[in-house]
Every structure is written in C-alpha cells, then in structure tokens.
Amino acid sequence: MGISYSTPAPSEKPPAAATSLRQLVPARDDVEDEAPPPYSASAPTTTVSLSQIRNWEEILLQDPKNRLAITTLATTPFTTLLRNQPTLRTDTQIFNIRIPLEGQPITNQRSSGRCWLFASTNVFRVPLMNRYHLADFELSQAYLFYWDKIEKANFFLEQIVATAGLDLSSRLVQTLLQDPVTDGGQWDMVANVVRKYGLVPHVLYPDPVNAQASAKMDWLVTAKLREHALRLRSLVSKSSREGAMDAAVARAKDEALREIHALVTLMLGPPPRPDEEFVWEFDDAVSGRARRVVDTPRGFAEKAFAMAATRRTEVDPTSMISLVNDPRNEFGRLMTVDRLGNVVEGRPITYVNVDMKTIKAAAIAMLRAGHPVFFGCDVGKSSDSTLGVMDAELWDLELAFNVTLGMTKAERLSSGESSMTHAMVLTAVHVEDGKPVRWRVQNSWGDQVGDKGWFVMTDRWMDEFTFQVVVDPRFVSKEVRDILNQEPTVLPRWDPMGVLA
C-alpha cells in the first residue's frame, strides 16, 4: 500500500520549491502524478548552501597540508596515521606494583558481549589458583552466561507486568524492550548469579558456539520476549478491567519463561545443576600430582568465598563494592538504576559515587595487597587494540584535522558520547613520586591483540574514560563505607550509568 500525500487544491499555487522540483522530473502522460512531497521552503540561513560549500572547499584545499591529508587518509585510517609516537614510547609494560599471581591464560570472549563475566571470573580465579596450585585455570563463563540469560528473561517479564499501566510508547517501556537479555552486565549482577548458582571450572562446561557468537541467539530470544511482553501487557490490561486475572497473567508469564528456557538450553546445552555434584580433576603444579575435587557448583563457590572471608590475605568477591566516578552527580552519594538487574530476589545495582582520587587509591591498595581489580570503562575511546594502548593522547587529531576534542567527562556522559562499555581487570600500576602513571590491564579479547592480550592504560586515560572499580570494603575509608547506608539516588533506566559493560 503506497503512502498518500496531500496535494494543493487546483486554485492554490504550489510553493516555489515544489515547482522547481517538478521541473526536474520529465512529464509522462501515461501515469498519474506520483511526485514526492515538495521540499519545504527554508530561509537561506537554515539550509546547506552549495555556494558556501564551494567556498569552504576552495579555502580548505588552498592549504598544502590539507591536500596531503586527503592523499594519505585515502589509503590509511587516521587512527593509524595520527598515532602520537613520542607518547607511545612511554606506554610501556613496566610496573613497580604488581600482584604476584595475575592469572593465566588470557581469556577470549570472542564475538559476544560477556566481558563482565570474563573480567569477574578472572578475578575469582586468582585465589582458586593459589589454593589448588594451578599453573593456568579458567572458570566457566558459559555457566554464568546461561543462568544470567534465564534470570534476565524472568526479570524482564516481571518489569513488563509491573509497567503494564504505562503507555507502550513511554520511554521506560521502550527502554525495557530495547535489549531485554543483553550480553552485558554489572558486578552486582554477577554476584547475584554466583550466590544463587555457584561456579564451575571451565572444563566442566566449556564455551558452546552460541556463547562465543551470541548475536543470533540473542535476536531469537529477544524477539520471543517482545512477543510475550505484548501478550502480558494485554492480559494485565484485561485484568484491570475485569478483575481476577492475576492467575492468567502468572500462567502466561510461566509459559513465556518456559519457552525462553527451552531456547537457551537448546542453544547453550544443559549446564551443571547448582545443587548436583561434579567431579573436577587437575594437576597440582607444585606437587605434580593429580588431584580431584567433588562438589556442587554452589558448594564450590561458597567454600572458596568463605575461606576468603576468614583470611586477611584474600578478598571475598561477593562482598565487594562498586566505586564509580560520575561527575554529573554529587560525590559521596549512593546511586542505583531503576529496574536494572537480573535476579529478581538479588541485590540491586549499587554504586558509590566518588572522585577519581578515591577510586585510584582504592585500586592501588588492592594491588599492593595482591588482589586483581575489576574495572569498567569506555574502551573504544583513544584506544588501539593492535598496540594494546589506552592513552588520552594516542592520536594527534590537530595534525591532520585542525580539531581537538574539548568535552569534559560529565559532558560526554550527558550527551551520549561516552558510557561504560567494557569491563577488564587491573593487575599492576606504575607509581612515580606517589602518583600513578600507567596501569596494566588484563583484557578478554584473546592473546592476538595488544601485548599477548595485555594492555597498558595511562593514568590520564583512566581519569577520562574509567567509570568504575570494584574493591573490598576494607580498602576504602569509613567515610566511603558509610555511603552504603544512604538511601540511594535512583537514576532512570535509560541513564548512561545503566549501560551494561
């Protein structure tokens, strides 16, 4: 069915722009007039002027440097051409504070958005490697990924029922519908999944193909969830008119979740059950002997974290807190994000908003004590994955383009230019005259990028593009810990701090 446009009455004179447009189209006697709607006549100051463009181009090309830029940029990406070589010479993998066991191997999330699960399990594995004398070790990221998908689907359906009274086009409902089972997540979300389902070694539930390349699975699950969301909204609307429909809504929600469970299970494979025993066999790197552990996923995690809680030399990952730097909002405040989570009965997303000085001090204290640090950042800014460098002065944009980037961190957050897009792990820092200079970063993009999978992050880059570190509460002051007792400021679901790494 074609789109109909209103046309002027015969007595009306068409706008000048419309007359000009029709003059460009040859007349045909055998068809009806199906010309597109006329362009609106605009004041000269609001339109793109071809004469002005011509003038700008002439001025631009008068400069030999600009002509050289056009030639070189035609064959070389500016991110390669404009690398700041003097700056890169200082971005070395040399650090004077480094944790004794960083964890091996370098992991690879492949074509998925599971960085938060890789970063968190890379943190979890270090005390386990110490305890069991492991030369290299991975926890199953796919195990947590599976349960997170199920929990996110349930969380989404609950939010759809709770917001059924809002218009479908409302910003909140549209935000919920946008990406209901995103691969991304946050520290509190992985803590929720680990508390409920535990952990298993990677060898017991390795990565299936639909975890390594999750886009098609995510599309199918999302399409079905949106379909079920519309049905649930309709049932809730009918319930409000007729009453006594709560049971029908509950049944429809259970049917929806059962279908999602089937899709996820068929594509990822049934995972170990959290309350059933597994057998894990491995070689002790110290004694050289084969060892055997029999436990449940829940028991495996609980024993590991319980032991950490009783040892001052270890940290309990489930008790760690998120320090964030959001300069749009008041420092010294507790924040959360409306309707963001995975496990319905789990703890909400909780952020302690502090300045970067506090964040760096806590991270350095963790590293001095030998503990890896989970952190969230905007990895795509001033970053080169081939070199493994994250440096705010990485590119000399002024050299070719005569421009500089002038927004503050707060302005980038407010305008959509920046958000927390990726999670990684800090394992070392270089400090000079009491101040951090650069940080060692363990990424999860495999060992073919950076320095065999390792990146270096300058301290200025950290100031500009790092938003979060996760630390044990004992490495911050009582003043910071007391912020956890506040009533949180609730950010809207579409806030950039609600973007999941």
Helix, strand, or coil (residue 464): helix
Question: Residue 403 CB: number of other CB atoms within 10 A?
Answer: 8
Please name the residue that has the structure tokens 């199906």. 34
CA atoms within 13 A on the CB side of 474: 12
Catalytic, out of 108, 115, 228, 377 = 115
Q: Residue 105: is the preceding peptide bond cis (ω within 30°)?
A: yes
Q: What span, in angstroms and rounded, lies between the C-alpha atoms of 52 and 58?
A: 10
Catalytic, out of 228, 371, 422, 430 = 422
Whether 115 is a known active-site residue: answer yes
Q: What span, in angstroms and rounded, lies between the C-alpha atoms of 451 and 9?
A: 70
Q: Decide: residue 338, CB within 10 A, 0-12 exposed, 13-18 middle, 19+ buried.
A: middle
| Angle between helix 215-242 and helix 246-268 axes, rounded to 10 deg | 170
Helix, strand, or coil (residue 498): helix
Whether 422 is a known active-site residue: answer yes
Tokens representing residue 375 in the block: 């952190």
Catalytic, out of 122, 154, 325, 443 = 443
Contacts of 130 (CB under 8 A, 6+ apart): 101
Tokens representing residue 412 in the block: 């980038």
**328, 414 contact by CB (below 8 A):** yes
Bridge pairing between strands 351-353 and 321-324: parallel
End-to-end Cα distance, the chain: 42
**354, 468 contact by CB (below 8 A):** no
141: which strand partners?
none
Q: How far is CA 273 from CA 267, 270, 297, in A?
A: 17, 8, 7
Please state the φ and ψ torsions of residue 395, each to the nearest 5 degrees. Answer: -115, 140
Q: Which positions are catalytic?
A: 115, 422, 443
